[in-house]
Amino acid sequence: MSASPLIWPLLVPLLTAIGLLFLWRRPSWHRWVGLAGAFGLLAAGLFLLRTVMTEGVTTATIGGWPAPYGIVLAADRLSAALVAVAGLLGTAVHLFSISGVDARREAYGYYPALHLMLMGVCGAFVAGDIFNLYVWFEVLLMASFMLLELGGERIQLEAAIKYLALNLLASAVFLSGVGFLYGFAGSLNMADLAGRLAQRGPSPLSNGVAMLFLLAFGTKAALFPFFFWLPASYHAPPAPISAVFAGLLTKVGVYALYRTFTLMFVADVAFTHGWLMILAGLTMVIGLLGAVVQEDLRRVLSFNLVGHIGFMVLGLGLFTPLALAGGIFYTIHDMIDITILFLIAGVVHRETGRWRMESLGGFYDRAPFLSLLFLLAAFSLSGIPPLSGFWGKLALIRAALAREQYLATAAALAATFLTLLSMAQVWEAVFWKDRPAADPEPADALRPTRWEKVFQMTPIVGLTLVSLAMGLFPEPFFRYAEAAARGLLEPSAYILAVLGGTP
């Protein structure tokens, strides 16, 4: 068996999903089979990460067709890290789902859809040509539609319609962009395109195509003028689904922006990356201003999610080694942190049956340890040293100052303070203030059993430990991010690995 490490992150979730489909009649088995599959994906992700760290860019040709013609999968450091984090988040959310998803949703195929979505996410991270990226995007979209409307509550159906309409619009734009790119440059392989577009140099047409891709990926990543679908839909499904969406889906859009705007659209950096920076700044400020005025716990987190996408894209917009490294570090940090916050929100809801912050309260008395975990994640998201969010923000702000982008710096600092404000509001309303006395506990509030508690807390604690490690020992992580950023800025190794092609 001479299998490339690249195919396992795709095959493991696919085979898991197939197995779960065959076991449809036995939903009680789903969680355990699925959990094994999730751990398998984590192992596959770590294996890929190790391979890429020791051997550099890894590629695999599908069916043995050579690179610019056949389908090729490629993973550089950025892809490998994201696949590994996807495995980690998949495992964590899977563990949480064992107590957080009701039996009815399990019976209607929650776990198969989750694994298909993980396959789509990993596929998008390792796709080597732009059309293949489109296909993986659609795979994960289909699976996420299923997850979003699973259960069929009215709010979920409405959210699914909003999510579906705007994401399909983005997909149509994406496909149009692919068409323009093929007609214009005559290739679809991203490494091949990099050379062809560089040959042609800057032109209005290539800028126009770049803007089409910015529109498409910006919608999927929830950048400023296109983010409205996100706060309208992410809070509708049950907590673990919200958490995995928040942690993974928008980051696929961010990854696609990173890949295309470092490899392909670099002919006219002042124009394309200038726009990226403007949108990033607006996303940060407007997203977090939105977070400050929301009253629903999940919508606060959704707007925080949107705002922090701005930081990641800011790193891309600044386009210096330090900024890209900061952006990559920040992406990894944010994937983990925002998932923790959504999971904690899920626990809060499960124990109180409430989402509105004014009817919540007194959680610190009830669960001090969970409150501490929330505080750690919230501080980390706001960028309090020495937690993981701080290092990413520090690198980004230093890079912005070095490029004398004072407006972007101001936006980033404002966003940081707004995050802190928003997190402080959540802390005050949900954990610190007394429970409103007039408000009786609703009937669907559940005291979890001991085992459910284990499954709830293990993923939160595990992810918090990873986040703490990134904060307290940032050096290896940051070195890795720097190496990944160098790989993005000097894509010759990637191009050579893809086009030189291992058989």
Partner 1 sequence: MELVLSAVTGGLYAAGLFMMMRRSLFNMILGLILLGHAANLLLFTLGGLERGNPAFVASDPAAAASFPDPLPQALILTAIVIGFGVNAFAVVLIRRAHGAIGADDLDELKSTDCSD
Partner 2 sequence: MKEHRFTSLILAAATQYLLPLLLFLSVDILLRGHNKPGGGFMGGIMGASALALYFMAHDARSVRRILRIHPRYFLAIGLLAAAVSGLLPLFFGKPFMTGIWWDRHLPVIGMVGTPLLFDVGVYNVVVGVIMTIFLTLMENR
Chain positions contacting partner 2, by CB under 8 A: 1-4, 7, 11, 14-15, 17-18, 21-22, 24, 60-64, 503
Copy the structure tokens of residue 251.
């980051």
List 111, 131, 258, 478, residue binding partner 1 (CB under 8 A):
131
The DSSP bridge pattern shows strands 58-61 and 72-75 to be: antiparallel
Burial annotation 379-411 (CB, 10 A radius, 16+ → b, else e):
bbbbbbeebbbbbbbbbbbebbeebebeebbeb
- List 59's β-bridge partners, or say none: 74
- If the CB atoms of residues 152 and 500 are measured against partner 1, the closer one turns out to be 152
Minimal distance, residue 11 CB to partner 2, in Å: 7
Q: Does 138 bind partner 1 (CB under 8 A)?
A: yes
Minimal distance, residue 7 CB to partner 2, in Å: 5
Q: Does 25 bind partner 1 (CB under 8 A)?
A: no
Minimal distance, residue 425 CB to partner 1, in Å: 15
Mark the segment that binds partner 1 (CB under 8 A) among 30-38, 133-141, 271-279, 452-460: 133-141
Minimal distance, residue 132 CB to partner 2, in Å: 13
d(CA 425, CA 121): 33
d(CA 300, CA 235): 10
Side chain identity, residue 360: L
Interaction partner, residue 180 (partner 1, partner 2, none; CB < 5-8 Å by kind):
partner 1
Q: Does 293 bind partner 1 (CB under 8 A)?
A: no
Copy the structure tokens of residue 61.
């040709």
- If the CB atoms of residues 69 and 406 are measured against partner 1, the closer one turns out to be 69
Copy the structure tokens of residue 54.
């020791």
Nearest to 294 by CA among 340, 241, 357, 383: 357
d(CA 19, CA 27): 12
The number of beta carbons lying within 10 Å of the beta carbon of residue 138 is: 17
Alpha carbons within 13 angstroms on the beta-carbon side of residue 422 total: 35
Q: What are phi and psi of 303, to 5 degrees?
A: -70, -35
Interaction partner, residue 4 (partner 1, partner 2, none; CB < 5-8 Å by kind):
partner 2
List 50, 104, 200, 356, residue binding partner 1 (CB under 8 A):
356
- If the CB atoms of residues 35 and 348 are measured against partner 1, the closer one turns out to be 348
For partner 1, the binding residues in 367-386 under the rule CB under 8 A are none
Residues in the chain: 503
Interaction partner, residue 176 (partner 1, partner 2, none; CB < 5-8 Å by kind):
partner 1
Radius of gyration of the chain (CA): 22
List 2, 63, 154, 204, residue binding partner 1 (CB under 8 A):
154
The number of beta carbons lying within 10 Å of the beta carbon of residue 342 is: 29
Mark the segment that binds partner 1 (CB under 8 A) among 5-13, 36-44, 291-299, 413-421: 291-299
Copy the structure tokens of residue 257.
């922006």
d(CA 118, CA 17): 10
**CB-based contact 25:61 (threshold 8 Å):** no
Mark the segment that binds partner 1 (CB under 8 A) among 6-14, 158-166, 270-278, 324-332: 158-166
Copy the structure tokens of residue 186.
């005559």
User: H or E stretch including 371?
Assistant: helix 368-382
Q: Does 165 bind partner 1 (CB under 8 A)?
A: yes
Size of the site for partner 1 (CB under 8 A): 47
Q: Does 160 bind partner 1 (CB under 8 A)?
A: yes
**CB-based contact 395:325 (threshold 8 Å):** yes
- If the CB atoms of residues 134 and 431 are measured against partner 1, the closer one turns out to be 134
Q: Does 207 bind partner 1 (CB under 8 A)?
A: no
Mark the segment that binds partner 1 (CB under 8 A) among 41-49, 127-135, 277-285, 367-375: 127-135
Nearest to 322 by CA among 89, 191, 489: 489
Interaction partner, residue 17 (partner 1, partner 2, none; CB < 5-8 Å by kind):
partner 2
List 52, 121, 141, 408, residue binding partner 1 (CB under 8 A):
141
- If the CB atoms of residues 64 and 201 are measured against partner 2, the closer one turns out to be 64
Interaction partner, residue 66 (partner 1, partner 2, none; CB < 5-8 Å by kind):
none
**CB-based contact 290:277 (threshold 8 Å):** no
**CB-based contact 88:463 (threshold 8 Å):** yes
DSSP secondary-structure letter at 449? P
d(CA 357, CA 428): 9
Mark the segment that binds partner 1 (CB under 8 A) among 107-115, 143-151, 197-205, 466-474: 143-151
- If the CB atoms of residues 5 and 87 are measured against partner 2, the closer one turns out to be 5
- If the CB atoms of residues 121 and 384 are measured against partner 1, the closer one turns out to be 121
- If the CB atoms of residues 9 and 253 are measured against partner 2, the closer one turns out to be 9
List 273, 308, 350, 354, residue binding partner 1 (CB under 8 A):
354
Q: Is 342 helix (H, G, I), strand (E, B) or coil?
A: helix
Catalog residues that contact partner 1 under the rule CB under 8 A. 69, 131, 134-135, 138, 141-142, 145-146, 149, 152, 154-155, 157-162, 164-165, 168-169, 171-173, 175-176, 178-180, 182-184, 188, 232-233, 235-236, 295-296, 298-299, 354-356, 359
